[in-house]
A and B are shown apart, each in its own frame.
Chain A
């Protein structure tokens, strides 16, 4: 059994960490947090030059063709660094949707541009509060034109292209939904940034008013394609969450070692030690589940549906626990803008919602287990 990353993959991870330590310090993350820029352009450029955007995109489409395990180790480091760039929207969502459902021409058109960092991609799904279902999607497409409002769209304000879910059929079943690629700079598209819990990741309200829409996949297949995109993306997001959990745990540990109260480091109190032990346990379980997800993703195993939901749920829980308890360990200072604790607390919430919330993924996990046992 070999349930570990290879030496080459570990080396890639070390390189990624080194690169992000120098180009994505907390100071750089705060530049986006406090400033007006929607993302960090120099970091985005650097990441493109490293080839990370095309890590799992096949060479025939301009990528490095390394594979998903390589993308997973990169994702972990991006999560650890709280990187303020549209990486996940572009790579895990837009590029994966094109890889899964695109025609040869669409792959040739979009994927090389993703690989070289020439375009930013997004996925436009949600239209209001509550879980997204075929019923809640009111945006419609007919005759190659798309009309409706999507809110929020992660990176919608900076994206060049978006995959948009729209109604093409009558009724509210899954077959009523189709996917389209829309040129976000084209006519009939208006995007405005909205305030969110994590200003280091941009979100927008996107209005489509007869925007030109290019079908992605067959009509009525939209929901089925999204399901596949979500399974793959869940594993990749889980690695970002594991990276973030680990970083928050280390922050809490280091602070507890240096902070003295009652004449001793607070790290010597069992209340703090046990809290940190629980953070460690949550992180390790999430890491192990994410590894299994990575294996299923990289081998396109039938276990992916269950493995992805398992990784998603445990990584979401771990990052929530680690980011909130990191603040608690810091005490009052953890509640200041000045300390970095809130960077993880914010990112943790954004990552936990972007693919659908925790209760929804728990339900999805049990549904997948029911399907497996029925088979």
Chain B
């Protein structure tokens, strides 16, 4: 065991480090992650700079703007990019989910026209999958696509679409045949988000922010040339996207252990700092071993990649552990402030309200990209080999499946 690069990896790391040092944007910290004009502009500028030098989507083939990098080189690149990676959040869905779907199922024209622009950040894409009536049971979706000549006419509603309001394009899964079993009547498309008939409404979240949208479709027309995969094969196509989604969402959140640890040293009551309290120590220890466990699990994954192997099934545990534990730890961080913990106003709140934000944001972390419950099913079925759920609607025509009041 050792934590050293192989000579090849070390060479690549130097190359990446030198390029980043010579090209890193100035004055980006305050704007990174913002979804206003400034935030989008600085993200796009950095992405384009990387693209022009061959450092965007480096694991993609050259023809699409990548450099055919190995998985371990991708890991090294992201380590070297470090905090600057916050500038790439805007493109995660397009690069992580939409582009792989287009590369696998799109026409030559679609690939040539869009994939390089997704890599360069010139086009921002979103994913139109979830609906009010179909979340975990995605294949129960009801947005209709009906063929009229060379076009498809779309009617229905999507929800939880990240970034719909600033996206240029989206990939869209629809029902094209409600008379066959639910997985069989689906078809995938992509569309221009500025098409007539598309209405985007932001969702006000528990956190008070609006990162997601509802998207309504009223007689929206999509040319048949923008179909991804065959008619009725939409489920198969969507699996490409979803497989990539779990990879993209999983590691995206920090554990914040160090901030929590420091805060427990700072907050005091008459018995001294909170960290001297046995129950606080125990909670910190519980979180530390999980945070360390995830870090050390990622070392195992990176080792596998370094040897040219696929990571083992342990890769699937990250989001399941992070979501609920971040939520509980943020709650503990408010507890140790006692009555003061209610204050979330930034100028008064402890740590500028960081833990209040996590307290709300982590609620969604447990749901998005596969709920805790779905992830446990996945581990149980794909890792441990337990039987799949009994699906009472599997062989019924979609329009005969019972639906509840909600």
Q: Which residues of A contact B (CB under 8 A)?
A: 1-5, 69, 253, 256-257, 264-265, 267-268, 270, 272-274, 276-278, 280-281, 284-289, 291-292, 294-295, 298-299, 310, 313-314, 317, 359, 362-363, 365-366, 369-370, 373
Q: Is the CB of B3 within 8 A of A285?
A: no
Tell me which residues across on chain B come within 8 A of A267, comparing CB atoms: 386-387
Most buried by B among A285, A292, A373: A285
A74 to B278, CA, bound (A): 35
- Over the window 258-291 of chain B, the binary record of Cβ atoms lying under 8 Å from chain A Cβ atoms (1 yes, 0 no) is 0001100100000000010010011011101110
> Beyond A281-B320, A362-B285, is A257–B290 a contact (Cβ under 8 Å)?
no
Nearest A residue to B301, CB-CB: A3
Question: Residue B294 at the A interface, CB < 8 A?
Answer: yes
A298 to B2, CA, bound (A): 10
Q: Is the CB of A2 within 8 A of B1?
A: yes
Within 8 A of A (CB), among B108-166: none
Of A272, A291, A362, the residue contacting B300 (CB under 8 A) is A291
Q: Is the CB of B297 within 8 A of A284?
A: yes
- For the A-B complex with A1-B3, A273-B377, A288-B294 known, give 18 more contacts whose Cβ atoms are closer than 8 Å: A1-B2, A3-B303, A268-B388, A268-B389, A272-B386, A274-B380, A276-B380, A284-B293, A284-B297, A288-B293, A289-B293, A310-B292, A313-B289, A314-B289, A359-B278, A365-B285, A365-B288, A366-B284
Q: Is the CB of A284 within 8 A of B281?
A: no
Q: Is the CB of A359 within 8 A of B282?
A: yes
> Beyond A2-B1, A362-B282, A363-B278, is A274–B386 a contact (Cβ under 8 Å)?
no
Tell me which residues across on chain B come within 8 A of A288, comparing CB atoms: 293-294, 296-297, 299-300, 314
Within 8 A of A (CB), among B378-402: 379-381, 383-390
Tell me which residues across on chain B come within 8 A of A365, comparing CB atoms: 285, 288-289
Q: Which residues of B contact A (CB under 8 A)?
A: 1-5, 261-262, 265, 275, 278, 281-282, 284-286, 288-290, 292-294, 296-297, 299-300, 302-304, 306-307, 314, 317, 320-321, 373, 375-377, 379-381, 383-390
Question: How many Å from the CB of B163 to the closest CB on chain A?
Answer: 31
Q: Is the CB of A253 within 8 A of B292?
A: no
Question: How many Å from the CB of B67 to the closest CB on chain A?
Answer: 21
A313 to B388, CA, bound (A): 33
Question: How many Å from the CB of B263 to the closest CB on chain A?
Answer: 12
Q: Is the CB of B296 within 8 A of A274?
A: no
Question: How many Å from the CB of B345 to the closest CB on chain A?
Answer: 29
Tell me which residues across on chain B come within 8 A of A265, comparing CB atoms: 387
Tell me which residues across on chain A come within 8 A of B297, comparing CB atoms: 284-285, 288
Tell me which residues across on chain B come within 8 A of A294, comparing CB atoms: 1
Question: How many Å from the CB of B287 to the closest CB on chain A?
Answer: 11
> Beyond A264-B390, A363-B278, is A273–B289 a contact (Cβ under 8 Å)?
no
Tell me which residues across on chain B come within 8 A of A280, comparing CB atoms: 317, 379, 383-384
A1 to B278, CA, bound (A): 37
> Beyond A267-B386, A268-B390, A270-B377, is A373–B282 a contact (Cβ under 8 Å)?
no
Q: Is the CB of A1 within 8 A of B314?
A: no
> Beyond A3-B296, A256-B386, is A274–B376 a contact (Cβ under 8 Å)?
yes
Q: Is the CB of B380 within 8 A of A277?
A: yes
A276 to B377, CA, bound (A): 10
Q: Is the CB of A285 within 8 A of B293?
A: yes
Q: Is the CB of A268 within 8 A of B292?
A: no
Question: How many Å from the CB of B261 to the closest CB on chain A?
Answer: 6
Most buried by A among B262, B296, B303, B383: B296
Q: Is the CB of A295 within 8 A of B384?
A: no
Tell me which residues across on chain B come within 8 A of A295, comparing CB atoms: 1-3
Of B285, B293, B376, the residue contacting A273 (CB under 8 A) is B376
Question: How many Å from the CB of B79 to the closest CB on chain A?
Answer: 10
